[in-house]
Amino acid sequence: MRDFVILTDSSCDLPSALAEELELEVLPLRFSIGGKEYYNWLDGREIPFPDFFAKIRAGEMGTTSAVSVGTSEAKMREILAQGKDLLCLSFSSGLSTTYQSAEIAAEDLRSEFPDAKIHVVDSLCASLGQGLFVYLCAQQKKAGKSIDEVLVYAESVKYHICHWFTVDDLNHLKRGGRISAATALFGTMLSIKPVMHMDNEGHLIPVSKVRGRKAALTALVDQMERLSIDPAGQTVFICHGDCYDDATFVAGEVTRRFGTKDIRINYVGPVIGSHTGCGVVSLFFVGTER
């Protein structure tokens, strides 16, 4: 059985040490802020995550770029030239063209490497939801499963990766075109916080509105109670837009209510953070449905 490599992109927002431990190859997306362009590396080597969010707080806007076909093809060729097969797990096609770029690159390379297996999966996930998806697939590989077995697992489990999140600043969603100016204005005045999730097409969907930040954070955990499979025994990921205390509040509620032991917290990366702004908190887990 040929060895294979799992390739993903930096929208997964995994801690860099964990990505290394899982032996992942990670393609960085790009973003621009303050007139400069950066690569979104998982270790924040070009701009530390707190510095990025400080710019957002100061009113600067970030713009983002997908991984290009050329970048995908170069990394894929490098892996395939080592005689290894390739499983690429991409950022949701509902939010980025990164998946389409990977698919085009893979198609170009199949004739060049006819003996290789090259699979590209649209994760329909984002941020640490994508990270959790990749993590679970990497656990399958670690358990000795073949590339075809991990592919079947990936295509099945992605519809069970639950993404639940809330934001503190409605104006950032307004600037990104997610909500109207009137909704942002009245929501801010009334301290209304949206609770959102990622649907089966990989799009961000508002689900409900609650009064106050603490209620919004608690609502995320309520969704986990409603949907999760074996909440005590699974690995749960939480990410935050420079609001670590809020993330630890959610983690504490998850532990208190379900006895979950394996909870990982990390920053939202600059690519996702450019669209959510500061104060986003997201909870990711495996559930009966999204």
Look up the CATH number of the domain holding residue 214. 3.30.1180.10
The pTM assigned to this predicted structure is 0.94
Q: Give the pLDDT score at 207.
A: 87
Are 50 and 150 contained in the same domain? yes
In terms of average pLDDT, the best of 183-192, 196-205, 220-229 is: 220-229
Spatial distance between the Cα atoms of 217 and 189, rounded to a whole number of angstroms: 19
Identify the band that residue 173 occupies on the pLDDT scale cut at 50, 70 and 90. low
**Residue 171 above 80 pLDDT?**
no
Domain that holds residue 274: 160-286
Phi and psi at residue 212, to the nearest 5°: 95, 150
Burial of 284: CB neighbours in 10 Å, binned 0-12, 13-18, 19+? buried
Residues 10 and 146 in one domain: yes
| Same domain flag for 17 and 143 | yes
CATH number for the domain harbouring residue 76: 3.40.50.10170
| 189 pLDDT higher than 70 | no
Whether 266 and 276 share a structural domain: yes
Which of 143, 158, 173 lies at the terminal end of a domain, its last residue? Answer: 158
Asked whether residue 58 falls in the same domain as residue 151, the answer is yes
pLDDT digit string, tens, across residues 81-132: 999 999 999 999 998 999 999 999 999 999 999 999 999 999 999 999 999 9
Mean confidence (pLDDT) of the chain: 93
Question: Which two structure tokens, joined as six digits, stand for 43?
Answer: 């270790």
- Count of the separate structural domains present in the chain: 2
CA dihedral 135, 136, 138, 143 (to 10 degrees): 140
Residues 188 and 76 in one domain: no
Nearest Cα to 177, choosing from 211, 208, 204, 210?
204
Whether pLDDT at 264 is above 80: yes
DSSP state of 268: P
Strands 262-267 and 281-286, sheet pairing: unpaired
